């Protein structure tokens, strides 16, 4: 059994970051993944809106020609 007494998490996190420990990489990977997910969502929504507007415009022009 491991007993941890008075573990100072802030000092541990700073030491881990200075030594480029795994928590630094996990944090950077999660932030990068979140930014990529957010940007892909924005791009896909924009693309979907443009496509929907294009279809609507072409449908309107077909109706106008009839």
pTM equals 0.59
Q: Where are the domains of the chain?
A: 33-66
Tokens of 4: 């941890």
In sequence order, what DSSP letters do the residues of the chain get, joined into one string? Answer: -----S--HHHHHHHHHHTT-HHHHHHHHHHHHHHHHHHHHHHHHHHHHHHHHHHHHHHHHHHHH-
Encode pLDDT of 19-53 as tens digits.
888 888 888 999 999 999 999 999 999 999 998 88
Look at residue 1 and tell me whether its pLDDT is greater than 90: no
- Residue 4 has a pLDDT of 67
């Amino acid at each position: 059994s491991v007993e941890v007494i008075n573990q100072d998490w802030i000092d541990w996190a700073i030491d881990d970051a200075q030594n480029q420990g795994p928590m630094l990489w996990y944090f950077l990977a999660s932030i990068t993944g979140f930014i990529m997910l957010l940007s892909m969502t924005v791009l896909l929504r924009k693309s979907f809106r443009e496509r929907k507007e294009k279809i609507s415009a072409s449908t309107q022009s077909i109706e106008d020609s009839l």
